[in-house]
Structure 1
């Protein structure tokens, strides 16, 4: 029925059925949340935005949980800063 609450058990059962019919491996419904956050961070989305989307009370929770997927974060920051600095120097 439209407008009624979704029973979590039914949602999980439907999710498992869809995975099976699509020939995909078993995963938890919650894994979709982790995948979403990981993909956003990898595409360069600001961690604060990801944190807000996940409903974390602060950005530290997000970074503690997901920073391992961004091992090159420091190096990339240095490269962006260097590029900006060199572009300003050329002007």
Structure 2
């Protein structure tokens, strides 16, 4: 693992913990949120699962 990989992990962990993209951008020192969003944050299994669970709550037919 390279030191730079830790920046990707940091961004993803913060995203999973519902930290705003703006705050993550500033933490990493990027000039634009788009760089942070497109290159540094990744959708992890837990984030994907959490998103699916939130979506399922919108469907009253699912139990």
Scaled by the length of structure 2, the TM-score of the pair is 0.62
Runs of at least 5 residues in structure 2 that lack an aligned partner in the other structure:
59-63
C-alpha RMSD of the superposition: 2.5
In structure 2, C-alpha distance between the alignment counterparts of 1:42 and 1:50, rounded to whole Å: 11
Q: Which residue of 1 aligns with 2:8?
A: 34
Shift of 1:32: 1.1
**Could you say which structure has the larger radius of gyration?**
1
Which protein has greater RCO, CA pairs closer than 8 Å, 6+ apart?
Answer: 2
TM (normalized to structure 1)?
A: 0.45
Q: State how many pairs are aligned.
A: 51
